[in-house]
Amino acid sequence: MSPRIERRQFGATGHESSRLIFGAAALGGMRQERADRVLEQLLEYGINHIDAAASYGEAELRLAPWMQQHRDRFFLATKTGERTGGGARASVERSLERMQVDQIDLIQLHNLVDEEGWQTAFSKGGAVAALAKARDEGLVRFIGVTGHGTRVAAMHSRSLEAFPFDSVLLPCNFSMLNRPDYRTDFDTLVDTCRERNVAVQTIKSIARRRWPDVSQARFSWYEPLRDPDAIRRAVQFVLSREDMFLNTSSDATLLQAALDAACDETQAPADSLMQRDASNFGIEPLFAPGFDGTL
């Protein structure tokens, strides 16, 4: 039997989530048979939290037959990129239909970082109000906010002042936290989340850099680490922060390495080792001012 991954309280939701959360973006381009084999690994390692999105290709459809059998074993999260109330409501209803479930545990506003989208989402007829209504009606249980880029931590802090979100999601890796501006905003956000019992999810833990050749075939928009020891250190770098969760990569070929790393006794790698990996593998921040998009 495989080792079980540690679980912790997911903010104030009352759910004990596995600290490694399965990023269902990995299922977006898969056939059902392959997706089923990947999902079997979740049960094997005790992962009980799945993070999908309306924009992740066929991911929600791949989850549907799995939810028919195992819905009660998973905290099910998805995301909407809509900013208007009508669009967000329609997105929730479509996700419920696609995944063939009656309720979503966590609906998240996807990549809420730009000013115009933020203003629309928080307007009187915007997505935030619509998601709160969906929660009141029992279609969703909790509401979160996600994002990437250098401004995301500061924007999440702003969002938490405007609405009591249950979770946030943002990049966390050694290269990003080595940026003083990002680190300051990141630490401020984490302190706020700790005070308010808001769950902190992290992404891009095993990111290496942007693809040098954008035409290269790939499973994720960024080039990930592939060395098992470097992946282990990158995963441990995040999980050594006891109040954080880590979402797995959209590259399913790296899932096993992440599972193995998360099963090891958690110990923060020395900065000297992380600096050595950065040098040996050419690790670079994925985001920089003026260069915050995914492509």
Domain ranges of the chain: 7-281
- Return the pLDDT at 84: 98
- Return the pLDDT at 293: 64
Amino acid at position 79, single letter: K
Name the pTM for this structure.
0.95
Residue range 39-49: average pLDDT? 95
Residues 162-171 pLDDT 10s: 999 999 999 9
Residue range 228-235: average pLDDT? 97
Task: Identify the residue with better confidence: 21 or 211.
Answer: 21
Q: What does pLDDT average to over the chain?
A: 94
Per-residue 3-state assignment (H helix, E strand, C coil) for the chain: CCCCCCEEECCCCCCEEECEEEEHHHHCCCCHHHHHHHHHHHHHHCCCEEECCCCCCCHHHHHHHHHHHHHHHCEEEEEECCCEHHHHHHHHHHHHHHHCCCCEEEEEECCCCCHHHHHHHCCCCEHHHHHHHHHHCCCEEEEEEECCCCCHHHHHHHHHHHCCCCEEEEECCHHHHCCHHHHHHHHHHHHHHHHHCCEEEEECCCEEEECCCCCCCCCCCEEECCCHHHHHHHHHHHHCCCCEEEECCCCHHHHHHHHHHHHCCCCCCCHHHHHHHHHHHCCCCCCECCECCCC
Fold of 7-281: TIM Barrel (3.20.20)
Residues 235-264 pLDDT 10s: 999 999 988 999 999 999 999 999 999 998
- Return the pLDDT at 14: 97
